[in-house]
Structure 1
Amino acid sequence: MSTQAEDDVIAQASSDRVPVTPASVEAFGAVPEADRAVAGRTRQFDTARLSKDFAEQGAFLYMEDFLAPEVTAQLVHSARALLDEVNRNYLPGHKQGGSVSRHTIDRLAPFIAELYRSKELIGWLEKLSGDKLMVSPPDDPHAYALYYYTRPGDHIGWHYDTSYYDGRRYTLLLGVVDESSCRLDYELHTKNPDVPDVPGSVQIPPGGLVFFDGDKLRHRITPAAANEFRVSLTFEYVTDPNMRPWRRFISNMKDAIAYFGFRQVFRQMIQRKGAGQ
């Protein structure tokens, strides 16, 4: 973190940072039980209507207010606590920003992993998508990850969340912190020749949700300005957890170069393989 502007933003954002451990949450408040918190929210929604909207928009849904306030507060707390773990990357013309992979989250922010595996959440997403959803394999660093936009120009260019799995991969994007002008720009129906493309743009507030089929939605995050701070959380669910070896290699290289670093991606993979021997 080299620029003075970024240092100022990070210092302000992390001023209340404490380790996310059972002993430390007493002053912050009890960590909510994920299934109960999700169920308390989803039962308030017209899921049948939302599922229809999802289908009509080509496997895309935006909700400004999804998470329970106590869940959002815990995610904000975790995101600020993990600032020192951020791995920054720069790909000219495409991407600039920071990331924290599921492997680090597993060690330091277990509530995020609990929320990702919530049966209530997965069941509700299945009703929206009409697909049977499974969690990503344990060696996938993208299964759940935090993305940080803390320097001027942090962004990600137009892309699809391409699935390297044999089946489909759905992305659940949750707003965590948004002290920025960044927007999610998107284009619907780009893979459907029978329907005109529909552009859109949203600014995702803390607790907001975007759910989509990664292979169908063309999207980007617009650049951050000076002294801005944004954190988002993504969950990836699959319809088939199998991946062919050559696709696994491509996926690992992409994750190592563009997101989490070679040490995170390949060390975790080697450790998991060794434990299974």
Structure 2
Amino acid sequence: MSDLKEIVNNEDYNLNDSSFRARCKNTLDQQGVLVLENFIQASVIQQIKQEGEANQHLAYFCQQSHSAYLTPPYNNFPAQHPQNYQVMSSKGCITDDQIAQDSPLRSVYDSQDFRQFLCHVLGEQSLYEYADPLSSINLHYARAGEELGWHFDNSSFAITLLVQKPEADGVFEYVKDARNSSQGDMNYPLVESILQGSVKGTPLSMEPGALVLFRGRDSLHRVTPVKGDTTRMLVVLAYNSQPGIALSEFAQETFYGRSAKAC
């Protein structure tokens, strides 16, 4: 499947329409998140789900402890300080080289119309795939009890596609502008309140087929623990604003349980 018109819901989303692009950009700029429900046609999402189910046995599952800032411990702060406070993340992942060449995911990811749409909405000049063979398209699995702990992203934007909802929970929650990283303001009091549960995140409702653009560098976010027997499946479409960028071998081993060197 290579024609984007057979994959994307063109009745609602004309990626080449300048007014539609402008509305999307305004929403993302104002709210820090853009949700395009039913972006992928239902029959195509069903195909992607079947691919995900067939390949789940290939996924690398891991559980990791980390701080909300995704940084090593600061020795000059106590363990319970927001900078060091540890949360848990647990998930499975299959990598780009495990996505079929004829998968609709690859057709969307490689589409120049899609990339030009993203560039306009995100305010980027160009978008490039990762230079390593693992990181461009990832399919994440979250089974019962698995979650993503509160964290800030290192990248300025994230692009995801929901494939399957769990029976219960597995909800994406965020607190917009919880810090100002460009000014070096980590906003420890607010982050502590979020980590302790006294400040609640805003839940983001979405259904399978929804495309989500999210600015998570300064917005603290998490996915609550999944409940039930249905695995949450979410695709991450990862791009760079510069060509030739690859995840380090250490990062690959951490996230994927192997490196491209071993492929």
TM range, smaller chain: 0.7 to 0.9
Matching residue of 1:256? 253
Give the SS at the match of 2:40.
coil
Which residue identity does 1:266 align to in structure 2? K
8 A Cα contact 1:185 1:219, kept in partner:
yes
Aligned-partner SS, 1:146:
strand
CA distance in 1, matches of 2:123, 2:9: 19
Relative to 1, partners in 2 of residues 1:120 and 1:39: Cα closer, same or farther, differing over 3 Å? Answer: farther
Q: For the residues of structure 2 that align with 1:202 and 1:105, how far apart are their CA atoms?
A: 27
The equivalent of 1:66 in structure 2 is: 39
Distance in 1, matches of 2:4 and 2:27, equals 26
SS of the aligned residue for 1:82 comes to: helix
Say whether 1:56 aligns with 2:30.
Answer: yes
What's the secondary structure of 1:79's corresponding residue?
A: helix
- Number of residue equivalences: 222
Asked whether the 8 Å contact 1:148–1:229 carries over to 2, the reply is yes
- Aligned amino acid, residue 34 of structure 1: L
Q: Cα deviation per residue 1:215-273 (whole Å; 9 max; x = unaligned)?
A: 34321111012423210001012212355xxx953xx323322x3112x44313xxxxx
2:54 to 63, 81, 85: 81
Q: Tell me the secondary structure at the aligned position of residue 96 of structure 1.
A: strand
Structure 1 residues 136 and 123: alpha-carbon distance in aligned structure 2, compared to 1, 3 A threshold: same
Please give the per-residue CA displacement for 1:81-135, whole angstroms capped at 9, x wherever unaligned.
212211111114421121101111156x643222211112112112211212322
Select the residue among 174, 177, 197 that pairs with 1:189: 177
Change (3 A) 1:126 1:218: same
Matched residue type, 1:229 = T
Deviations 1:178-212 (A, max 9, x none): 13321011122234479x99942124311012102
Q: Which structure dedicates a bigger proportion of its chain to helix?
A: 1
Identity fraction in percent: 20
2:28, 2:174 → 1: CA distance? 14
Written as runs of structure 1 = structure 2, the 5 A alignment for 1:112-123 is 112-123=105-116
Distance in 2, Cα, partners of 1:226 & 1:53: 33
Cross-structure match for 1:5: none
The alpha carbon displacement at 1:213 in A equals 3.3
CA distance in structure 1 between the aligned counterparts of 2:43 and 2:129, rounded to whole angstroms: 26
Alpha-carbon distance in 1 for matches of 2:54, 2:250: 27
| TM-score (normalised: structure 1) | 0.70
Counterpart amino acid of residue 267 in structure 1: A
Contact persistence 1:62–1:210 (CA under 8 A) = yes
- Stretches of structure 1 lacking an aligned partner (at least 5 in a row): 1-30, 269-277
Query: Could you state the TM-score of these two structures normalised by the residue count of structure 2?
Result: 0.73
Partner of 1:267: 262
Q: Please list the CA deviations of residues 52-104 of structure 1 after superposition, one character each: whole Å capped at 9, or x if unmatched.
A: 1111124x212333222233222112111212211111114421121101111
RMSD of Structure 2 on Structure 1 (CA): 2.9
- Which of the numbers 179, 196, 201 marks the counterpart of 2:166? 179
**Which stretches in structure 2 are left out of the alignment for 5+ residues?**
66-86, 191-199
Alpha-carbon distance in 2 for matches of 1:76, 1:145:
13
Counterparts in 2 of 1:161 and 1:142: CA distance versus 1, 3 Å = farther
- In structure 1, how many angstroms separate the alpha carbons of the residues matched to 2:131 and 2:241? 15
Q: Are 2:25 and 1:37 equivalent residues in the alignment?
A: no
Q: Corresponding residue for 1:156?
A: 148
- Summarize the Cα distance change of 1:143–1:115 in structure 2 as closer, same or farther, 3 Å threshold: same
Name the stretch that deviates more: 95-104 or 233-242. 233-242
Native 8 Å contact 1:35 1:120 kept in 2: no
